[in-house]
Structures are given as C-alpha cells and as structure tokens.
C-alpha cells in the first residue's frame, strides 16, 4: 500500500484481551503495514457495567488494571469489543478527532461516533461509514501460510494426498461438541483415509476437551494422521498451507473465516446448539458456495478466497488522507 505520510503512522489496538477478537484488530493493522501498540483495557465502574450506553466522562473510564491510555494519541486506533468503545470515544475526543478510529463489530451505538465501523453481514448495522464483511478479519495471509508450509513440510512429508486440515474447536457460549458428535466426526475422518487415501492434519483446541480429544486420537490411531499434541510450535498455519481441503467446526467465526481465506474446499462440522448470528453466518457461506456441511464426502470446488482484511485495509487507506487533511495533518 502507498504510505499516507512520509513518516510512519502510529497505531493502537484496543481490546479486553480476548485473543480471537484482538487478532482481528492486529490483522487489520498488519494489513496496513503497521506494527500496533496493544492496549488491553479494563474499565472502571460504572463504565465497565454500562458501556457503551454510558458515555459521560469516558476519559476516566480506563482503570490502572489495564494498559495506560494516555497521549501521545495514535494516528489510527483499531478497537473491538464492548470494553474498547469507551476508550475509542475518549481518544477520539481528546485527540480532537485527529485519531482515525476503526471499530470492529457492532458497537451498539450510532456509527457516527467512529470514522469506520466493520461488521459481518449477519449484523444489521448499515451506514455510509460501515463496511460489511462475510466473516471475521484475521492475520492469515498467503505469505504466512507459505512460510509455515515450507518449514513443516519435511515433518508432514509422510502424509499422503489429498491432505485434509482438521480444525477442531469445542464448547462455547452457544455450541456443544458432544462425545457422540466427536465419535461420528472421527469415524468420517477415518473413512476418508480408507476411501480416498487421505492424510489428516488435526489440531484440537483447549475447548475440545480431554474426553473428545481421546475419542479423536483413538479412532485415528494407526491411520495416516498427525494430531497435534500441543507441544512445540503450533502447526495451524502449516496445516492450512499444506492442505488440499479443510474441515472445521462451526463454533468459531474466526477459524472458519481463516479457512475460507485459502480458496480451498472448506467443510463445516455442525455442533449442537447455535445462535441466529452463527446460523446466518454459516448459511451465508453455504449459499455463496464457499463452504459445505461435513458429511464424510470429499469433493473439489473453487471460489474467490475471502480476503476481507486486505479490503478493509484498503478502505482505511482510502479514507485516511481526507481525514488527515481535514485535521491539518496532511
């Protein structure tokens, strides 16, 4: 991207520290070519309980339990999550509007309080300064996948093609990965090694649970499969880079979005439970022909890889020169 100024832009990422949310902001900063300062904030009472609805005195909202929020103010602030809203509003006000504020996900208030708001299409927020994406922003790029694939290729050379990356999440606030589902999924994966000669690259998560992981390992024992044991460097990027297809559980919008950035066939494992927003997200990808439910089959299809982090970054850089000129920063 072309630089907006001759001097490097400064950037803050503001969140409550949840990795999945914070990585969306970091991914956008990196797509802008910036190395952000990470601000993990903790709000005082009553802002912690009432934000974003309570907007009085936001400059006092951040407590000392979180990272300091003080000048010099950044050129760009990228925030996400309810706790970031009060800080974003305060910085915008105290910088006299000079800080370009980007809010990822619906801030549950008018988007006019920010310079740009980024929401997935299953959210209903719409305005001139609202960008709508198919899924979540993230840090995955073709270069990152290629680098990881090259480094892990010797370790995984024994696995036959087609190689399938299997990304297993687990229980969250709305979904449950039951032993019954895990057993059924593991059996379908095992059948792919027999019927298609597939090699499996499997990464469970902390939310998978010990019992489910034991079921998975037992069913895949003796088959051409690597199930990451959690030690050493995480092979997640390498699995995506080396895969011919991806199987992913439905409980993570971020994980699904990352899989769909590869342009490879993506199968989704449906779990018990769900919510209207998750349902709308997955049904949208099914309709678009990007993903399919995992039924134990293995097919090939093509689609335009989801490259929304780059698209949002380009929109930020499109809007930023006029913003800086308006505030005497050009």
Domain containing residue 58: CATH number: 3.40.50
The reply to whether 87 falls in a domain is yes
Does residue 231 form part of some domain? yes
Q: Tell me, yes or no, whether 302 lies in a domain.
A: no
CA-CA-CA-CA torsion sign (139, 144, 146, 148): negative
Query: ω before 162 within 30° of 0 (cis)?
Result: yes
pLDDT attached to residue 6? 55
Considering the domain architecture, whether residues 130 and 214 belong to the same structural domain is answered as no
- For residue 235, give its domain range: 142-293
| Residue 262 sits in the same domain as residue 209 | yes
User: pLDDT band for position 72 (50/70/90)?
Assistant: very high
Q: What is the pLDDT of residue 122?
A: 82
Q: Assign 78 a pLDDT band (cuts: 50, 70, 90).
A: very high
Residue 109 burial (CB < 10 Å; 0-12/13-18/19+)?
Answer: middle
Q: Within a domain: residue 5?
A: no
pLDDT of residue 132: 96
Indicate if the pLDDT at residue 319 is higher than 80: yes
Higher-pLDDT residue of 192 and 49 is 192
pLDDT at residue number 161: 97
pLDDT at site 150: 98
Q: Decide if 1 is inside a domain.
A: no
CATH number, position 227: 3.40.50.2000
Per the domain annotation, does 300 fall within a domain? no
pTM assigned to the model? 0.89
Which residues make Cβ contacts (< 8 Å) with residue 241, sequence separation at least 6? 145, 146, 148, 149, 152, 262
- Is 129 in the same domain as 250? no
Summarize the chain as % helix, strand, coil (round to 5).
35, 20, 45
Tell me if 239 is assigned to some domain. Answer: yes
Q: What is the pLDDT of residue 117?
A: 97
User: For residue 54, is pLDDT > 80?
Assistant: no
Residue 50: what pLDDT? 55
Q: Mean pLDDT across the stretch 219-244?
A: 96
- Number of domains the chain is built from: 2
Q: Tell whether 146 and 83 lie within a shared domain.
A: no
C-beta of residue 103 within 8 angstroms of C-beta of residue 84 = yes
Same domain? For 91 and 222 the reply is no
What are the beta bridge partners of residue 118? 104, 131
- The pLDDT value recorded for residue 58 is 56
Rounded Cα distance, 97 and 75, in Å: 10
Q: pLDDT of 123-159, one tens digit each?
A: 888 999 999 999 999 999 999 999 999 999 999 999 9
Whether 75 and 175 share a structural domain: no
Same domain, 85 and 198: no
pLDDT digits (tens, 9 = 90+) for 106-130: 998 899 999 999 998 888 889 999 9
Sheet holding 225-227, edge to edge: 225-227, 199-203, 163-167, 245-249, 266-269, 291-293
Mean pLDDT of 225-237: 95
Q: For the ranges 56-60, 180-184, 204-208, which has the lowest average pLDDT?
A: 56-60
Q: Are 317 and 32 in contact (CB under 8 A)?
A: yes
Does 255 have pLDDT greater than 90?
yes
- 120, 150: one domain: no
Give pLDDT, residue 203: 97
Query: In terms of domains, do 89 and 129 share one?
Result: yes
- Predicted local confidence at residue 149, as pLDDT: 98
Question: Over the chain, what is the mean pLDDT?
Answer: 92
Residues 104 and 159 in one domain: no
Give me the mean pLDDT over the 208-219 stretch: 96
**For residue 75, how far is the Cα from the chain centroid?**
23
Question: Between 7 and 91, whose confidence is greater?
Answer: 91
Round the CA-based radius of gyration of the chain to a whole number and report it.
21
Q: Which residue blocks in 164-287 are alpha helix, DSSP H?
A: 179-195, 210-220, 236-242, 253-260, 276-287
Distance (Å, whole) CA 58 – CA 89: 7
Q: Are residues 149 and 272 in the same domain?
A: yes
Residue 219 maps to a domain = yes
Q: Which two tokens stand for residue 27?
A: 């991914």
Examine the domain organization and report whether 196 and 76 are in the same domain: no
């Amino acid at each position: 991207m072309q630089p907006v100024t001759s001097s490097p832009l400064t950037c803050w990422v503001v969140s409550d520290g949840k990795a999945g949310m914070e990585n969306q902001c970091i991914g956008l900063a990196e797509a802008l070519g910036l190395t952000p300062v990470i601000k993990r904030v903790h709000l005082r009472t009553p802002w912690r309980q009432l934000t974003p609805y309570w907007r009085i005195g936001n400059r006092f909202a951040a407590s000392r339990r979180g990272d300091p929020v003080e000048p010099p103010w950044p050129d760009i602030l990228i925030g996400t999550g309810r706790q970031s809203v009060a800080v974003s509003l305060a910085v915008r006000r105290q910088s006299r509007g000079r800080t370009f504020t980007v809010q990822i996900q619906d801030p549950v208030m008018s988007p006019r309080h920010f310079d740009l708001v980024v929401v997935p299409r299953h959210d209903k927020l719409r305005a001139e300064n609202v960008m709508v994406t198919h899924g979540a922003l993230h840090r995955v790029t073709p270069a990152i996948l290629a680098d990881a694939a090259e480094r892990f290729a010797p370790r995984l050379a024994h696995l036959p093609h087609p190689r399938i990356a299997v990304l297993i999440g687990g229980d969250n606030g709305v979904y449950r990965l039951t032993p019954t589902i895990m057993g059924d999924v593991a059996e379908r994966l095992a059948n792919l090694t027999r019927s298609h000669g597939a090699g499996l690259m499997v990464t469970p998560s902390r939310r998978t649970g010990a019992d489910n992981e034991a079921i998975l390992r037992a069913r895949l024992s003796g088959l051409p499969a690597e199930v990451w044991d959690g030690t050493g460097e995480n092979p997640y990027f390498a699995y995506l880079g080396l895969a011919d297809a991806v199987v992913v559980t439905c409980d993570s919008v971020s994980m699904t979005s990352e899989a769909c950035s590869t342009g490879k066939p993506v199968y989704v494992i449906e779990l018990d439970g769900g919510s209207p927003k998750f349902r709308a997200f997955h049904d949208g990808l099914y309709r678009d022909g990007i993903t399919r439910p995992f039924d134990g089959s293995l097919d090939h299809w093509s689609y335009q890889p989801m490259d929304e982090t780059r698209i949002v970054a380009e929109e930020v850089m499109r809007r930023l020169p006029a913003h800086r000129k308006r505030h005497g920063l050009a």
